[in-house]
Each structure stands twice: as structure tokens, then as C-alpha cells.
Structure 1
Amino acid sequence: MTTYLHVIGLFAGLSLLSIGGGNTVLPEMHMNVVRREHWLTDAQFADLFAISQTAPGPSILIVALIGYGAGLSAAGVPGAILGGVLATVAMVMPAASLVYVVTLFWQRAQKSRLRAAVEKGFAPLTVGLILATSVVMTRAADHNWRGYLLTALCTIVFLRTSLNPLVVVAAAGLAGALGVV
């Protein structure tokens, strides 16, 4: 039961901090799940992140996978299912509820200077959070110079070309399958 309360508390708190989307809180999620609770290792966290990003659906699927892992260690397969559901609900409901309430007032303040200032401030905040996520995920996933080099190459391709990201993903996957990384 304690594990489930930790899952709910962690993801409910992260939900309210996820300005710009769930991926912006990955550094805090990583710190809690890997360093504090020890539910996952760095490699497992990076693997779950990769799975959640490639699976169809919302990119925050990692939350369900982490809840699944925490519940599995606490109570087997039934506990894993409960952990995944609790983590997902805890991540979605607080933010969704807050957005609903704020939207009621936000619509009335369309011409407010405060609204314009807040909207301008959120853009750099979100970019900073996403950059922090990139650094944390790179450290968690890349453990040798080849991994860092592949990350850098993929980043350059994404920034400099209009190549379909699926081609880059396929090439990186092939590099991993061939043992290059």
C-alpha cells in the first residue's frame, strides 16, 4: 500500500509541475524513480522512455510503465496493473482539473496584460524544461562515447535537415542492432 501512495503522490505532484507537457518533468521523475525510490535503474528508465516515445498515443505513457514497474515489485502482476492505472490517473487528473478551472478565468482575461506576460513567460520556461529533459535522458541512456556520438549526430540531423524522423529512428535502431552503440 505504501508503494501505491508513493506512486500517487509522486505523479500527482509532477502533474501540477508539467508546464508544457509531461516530458518537461522527466528530470524530476528520473530523480525520484531512479535515485530516491530505486524502482528503476538508469538504463531501465531510458528504455521505458524510449518505449513510451515510440508507442502510439500520448508521450507520457512512461508514467504507466513506471507505475507498472513499481506495482510489480510490490504485488506481482495484479499490483503492476493497479500501479500503472494509479500512476496514469495521478499524472492526468490534477493537471486536467487545474487547466479546467484556470480556463474558466483565462477566457475572461483575454485582453489582460497579465495574461500576455504569463503566456510570453511560459515559452522560455518550457524550452528550458525540455532542454533539461534532454540532458537527463542523454546521461541515462548513453554510457559510452559511441552513444553520445549517436545522440549528437541525431540531434544535428534533426536540427539541420527536414529528414523524416522515422528514418533517423530506424538508422539509430539499426546501429543499436548491429552493436555499434
Structure 2
Amino acid sequence: MNALLPRIFLRFAGLSLLAVGGAGAVLPEAHRQLVEGEHWFTSSQFAEIFAIAQTAPGPNVIVFPLFGWELAGFAGFCAAALGVLGPSSLLALALARKLRENADSPGLKRLKRALIPLAVGLMAANGAILARAADTNALAAVITFAAAGFVVYSARSPVWAMAAGALLAVAAERLGFL
């Protein structure tokens, strides 16, 4: 058995319990642990794996098993998937039962409202950390800010921003700008 598998499972199990606001909100901590702590990835590799996960259909949580895949193949994929989904799913089930029992509690209603800006702030931190890792040149920074502006200020699908950014990057590569 690969000695790395238990470490992968435990690392992602710990991250899953920090994922207040979803998978995207825990990415800054994942970056800290996987890049700066474990040294399993460089910032650039982290950003590349995240980009692959973001452009794939399905839930954002797929990024964590992809990290496991890069570390230990299919077994690493499974270890990371079980780690990130298992503990948080069990905790969510237990909390959902308690929330249903106390649905009318004023304190609980206040807590739910207070968690919204926390989740948004964590997601904003995620964007900043990934932008620093991915924006290795001026063109990449322009694409990042243009895509963000497009998604925030237009009513169109983010797929258009992804397609335009990809075409611009390919054109820049062929013209020798990258």
C-alpha cells in the first residue's frame, strides 16, 4: 500500500471540515497546506489543477480528488474523495437533523445570516490566492480581471468568458507573447 494514501485521506478529511461555504471557500487553506505545508505542489501546479477542475462539468469539489490523482493516481483520487466527502457529509447530516429540530430558534436564524458574509469572504480570498498563483504575466492578469468583470457585470454564461480567455491565451502563445 502506498504510504502516502493515509496522509492524503487525513489531509483532505481535515480540509473538508473547514469548507464553510463550499469547496471554493476552503481553497486558500488547501493552498496553504498542500503547497506551503506539505510541499506536494507548487503554486503554479495548484492553480493548474484548480483550473482543470473549474472547467470540467460537475461540482467544484472535484478539485480535491484531482489533487489526490496527481499525488498517487487512482488510489490517491479515491483517498482524497473519501477524505473530502466523508467527514463533512456525516457532519452535514448531523447538523441538518439539529437544524430541523430547532428551525424556529431566533439564535439559529441569526447564525445562518451571519455565515453568509463569512462564506463570501472565504470565496473572495480564494480568488485572490489563485489569481496570485495563476497570473504569472500581464496577459494572464488581464484575462483574470476581464473574466471576473464579465461574470460580475454581464448576464451571460461564464462559459463565454472561459472560451474567450482560452482563445486569447492560445493566440498569444502562437504569436509568441507567452
Following superposition, the deviation at residue 116 of structure 1 comes to 0.5
Q: How does 1:99-118 map to 2 (within 5 A)?
A: 99-118=92-111
Distance 2:95 2:150 in 1: 39
Q: Could you give the per-residue CA deviations for residues 56-107 of structure 1, whole angstroms, max 9, x where no partner exists?
A: 2211111111111221xxxxxxxx1111101011000111000111111110
Q: How does 1:11-160 map to 2 (within 5 A)?
A: 11-71=12-72, 80-160=73-153
Contact 1:39 1:69 in 2 (8 A): no
Paired position in structure 2 for 1:174: 167
Distance 2:101 2:39 in 1: 45
List alignment gaps of at least 5 residues for structure 2. none
Q: Percent same amino acid at aligned positions?
A: 31
Q: TM-score, normalised by structure 1?
A: 0.90
Paired position in structure 2 for 1:162: 155
Distance 2:36 2:92 in 1: 30
Distance 2:105 2:166 in 1: 48
Counterpart code for 1:152? F
Q: TM-score, normalised by structure 2?
A: 0.92
Following superposition, the deviation at residue 30 of structure 1 comes to 1.0
Any runs of at least 4 consecutive aligned residues in structure 1 with deviations exceeding 2 A, and if so which?
none
Q: Could you give the per-residue CA deviations for residues 117-137 of structure 1, whole angstroms, max 9, x where no partner exists?
A: 110111000000000000011
List alignment gaps of at least 5 residues for structure 1. 72-79
How large is the Cα RMSD of the aligned pairs?
1.3
Following superposition, the deviation at residue 163 of structure 1 comes to 2.3
Distance 2:24 2:107 in 1: 26
